[in-house]
């Protein structure tokens, strides 16, 4: 949560690190996100339903009248720098390759980026599946675009900045992610989720009216590392699955999510009984699940929406195989706990968080009970966050 006190502390630390200057210190922020339903379909041209959180990345930024971008974080030692004349060198940074990638592609898009000093802070747990990477990318993008020499001429379009963030992650950190995380961080709206078609980028904000319920994120505290995980392998598998579906059905569809459930049922007897078939089934049925879940939510049927979340987790566990012992344990314990009407893993998987719909009056007991049971089964102490839904990437005016 961004507070005036936090901004003042960040400003003082910035001056401690970088010194006084006549240049103005400005502040920018972008949120993490929770995906309510629609997992591992964004890179298959599918529908997703994320919401921006009030957990966020924040940066203090100031022009430094040089050709160098300097990066610091309040929880890391050291200064990380790269030259605007050689942004590609940013790929080799121990920390800061996301920021370097964003600035590289901003310049490729015609922004006259200037030398800047950054100091980052934030309250999104790293490796939690809440997309701290996208938050850092969008914070950097809005800041660097706003301070560019030709900002008055170019301004910025948040969807374009989201695409730049995605490209930075592909090229500077080697994670072949879809667009959902960056889009949600850019386009979030308070008290709304986003129904996004990842193939077309058509979207609409959907009010998230939970009434007597709230969202609780349960962090397994088992960090995931997408670049070193099976994430890219899944992308290869669904690409092969698309080829198989087109060959069997005699179609030429561009995305796996262009197929309906009936198409899968028709093709299934001809699909080899292997992991790729499982991946295909998850993607196609998960995409349809998003449509049904949003319709149910808009009708005010929270119990039905919660059941859809459970179905999604089971599919991610059994067909897409991106959960693991810790996430499955958290899911199982939550589903057996009074007051919880829906639960599933959120994010890339292999660790991170579950999202849970819990009765507000039962929230405290839910956290104690689930935390105790999870720790007893895994030996890991979890963390919990009662969620508020916030706005997207922006400058903080003080």
Rounded to an integer, the average pLDDT of 325-338 is 97
Q: How much is the average pLDDT of 165-169?
A: 96
Q: What is the pLDDT of residues 292-316, one digit of tens each?
A: 999 999 999 999 999 999 999 999 9
Mean pLDDT of 76-100: 95
Calculate what percentage of the chain has a pLDDT beyond 90.
Answer: 90
Residue 276 has pLDDT above 80, yes or no: yes
Query: By the 8 A CB rule, do 112 and 149 touch?
Result: yes
Task: Count other C-beta atoms under 10 Å from residue 386's C-beta.
Answer: 14
Average pLDDT, the chain: 95
Q: Any residues with CB less than 8 A from the CB of 265 and at least 6 apart, and which?
A: none
Residue 349 has a pLDDT of: 87
DSSP single-letter state for residue 269: G
Binning pLDDT at 50, 70 and 90, where does residue 347 land? Answer: confident
Give the pLDDT band of residue 161 (cuts 50, 70, 90): very high
In this structure, the number of other CB atoms found within 10 A of the CB of residue 73 comes to 18
> What are the residue ranges of helices labelled H in 338-397?
363-378
d(CA 169, CA 158): 17
181: annotated active-site residue: yes
Going along the chain from its start, the domains and CATH numbers come out as: 4-207+390-396 (3.30.230.10)
Comparing C-alpha atoms, which of 27, 22, 31, 23 is closest to residue 8?
Answer: 27
| pLDDT surpasses 80 at 141 | yes
288, 265, 262: which is closest to 277 by C-alpha? 265
Instruction: Please write the tens of the pLDDT for every residue from 31-65.
Output: 999 999 999 999 999 999 999 999 999 999 999 99
Q: What confidence category does residue 1 fall into, taking pLDDT thresholds of 50, 70 and 90?
A: confident
pLDDT in tens, 115-133: 999 999 999 988 778 899 9
Contacts of 390 (CB under 8 A, 6+ apart): 31, 52, 53, 54, 56, 188, 190
What confidence tier does 227 reach under pLDDT thresholds 50, 70, 90? very low
CB neighbour class for 263 (10 Å; exposed up to 12, middle 13-18, buried from 19): middle
Q: Region 228-243: what's the mean pLDDT?
A: 87
Q: Stretch 217-222: mean pLDDT, rounded?
A: 94
Q: Cα–Cα distances in Å, from 132 out to 15, 244, 272, 356?
A: 25, 35, 38, 20
Please give the average per-residue pLDDT across 265-289, as a whole number.
98
Beta carbons within 8 Å of 355's beta carbon, 6+ residues apart:
34, 35, 36, 215, 216, 217, 218, 309, 343, 344, 346
Least confident of 59-73, 210-224, 239-253: 210-224
- Alpha helix positions (H), 150-259: 151-154, 158-172, 180-187, 231-249
Sequence-distant (≥ 6) Cβ neighbours of residue 53 within 8 angstroms: 31, 32, 33, 34, 124, 130, 188, 387, 388, 389, 390
* Region 265-287 average pLDDT: 98
Q: What mean pLDDT do residues 371-395 have? A: 96
- pLDDT score, position 224: 61
For β-strands 353-359 and 340-346, DSSP reports them as antiparallel
Res 215: pLDDT: 96
Residues 74, 77, 117, 181: which is the catalytic one? 181
252 vs 258: CA distance, rounded Å:
10
In the prediction, which pLDDT does 336 show?
A: 97
pTM beyond 0.85, yes or no: yes
How many C-beta atoms lie closer than 10 Å to residue 137's C-beta?
33
């Amino acid at each position: 949560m961004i507070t005036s006190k936090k901004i003042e502390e960040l400003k003082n630390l910035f001056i401690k690190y970088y010194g006084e200057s006549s240049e103005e210190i400005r502040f920018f922020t972008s949120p993490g996100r929770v995906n309510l339903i629609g997992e591992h379909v964004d890179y298959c041209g599918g529908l997703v339903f994320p919401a921006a959180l009030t957990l966020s990345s924040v940066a203090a930024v100031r022009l430094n009248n040089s050709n160098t971008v300097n990066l610091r974080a309040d929880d890391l030692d050291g200064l990380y720098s790269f030259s605007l004349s050689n942004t590609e060198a940013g790929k080799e940074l121990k920390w800061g390759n996301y920021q370097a990638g964003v600035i590289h592609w901003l310049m490729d898009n015609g922004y006259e980026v200037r030398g800047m000093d950054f100091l980052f802070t934030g309250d999104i747990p790293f490796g939690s599946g809440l997309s701290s990477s996208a938050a850092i990318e969008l914070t950097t993008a809005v800041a660097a675009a706003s301070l560019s020499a030709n900002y008055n001429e170019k301004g910025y379009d948040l969807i374009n900045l989201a695409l730049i963030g995605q490209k930075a992650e592909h090229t500077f950190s080697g994670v072949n992610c879809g667009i959902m995380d960056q889009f949600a961080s850019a386009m979030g709206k308070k008290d709304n989720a986003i129904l996004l078609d990842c193939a077309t980028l058509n979207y609409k904000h959907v009010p998230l009216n939970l009434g007597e319920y709230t969202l609780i994120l349960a962090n397994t505290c088992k960090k995931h590392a997408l670049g070193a995980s099976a994430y890219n392998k899944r992308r290869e598998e669904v690409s092969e699955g698309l080829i198989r579906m087109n060959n069997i059905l005699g179609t030429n569809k561009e995305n796996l999510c262009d197929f309906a459930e009936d198409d899968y049922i028709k093709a299934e007897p001809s699909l080899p009984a292997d992991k790729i078939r499982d991946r295909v089934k998850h993607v196609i049925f998960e995409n349809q699940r998003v449509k049904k879940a949003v319709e149910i939510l808009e009708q005010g049927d929270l119990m039905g929406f919660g059941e859809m979340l459970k179905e999604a987790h089971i599919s991610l566990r059994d067909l897409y195989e991106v959960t693991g012992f810790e996430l499955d344990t958290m899911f199982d314990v939550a589903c057996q706990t009074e007051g919880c009407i829906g639960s599933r893993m959120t994010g890339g998987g292999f660790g991170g968080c579950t999202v849970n719909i819990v009765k507000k009056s039962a929230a405290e007991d839910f956290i104690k009970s689930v935390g105790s049971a999870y720790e007893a089964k895994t030996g890991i102490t979890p963390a919990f966050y009662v969620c508020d839904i916030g706005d997207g990437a922006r400058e903080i005016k003080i």
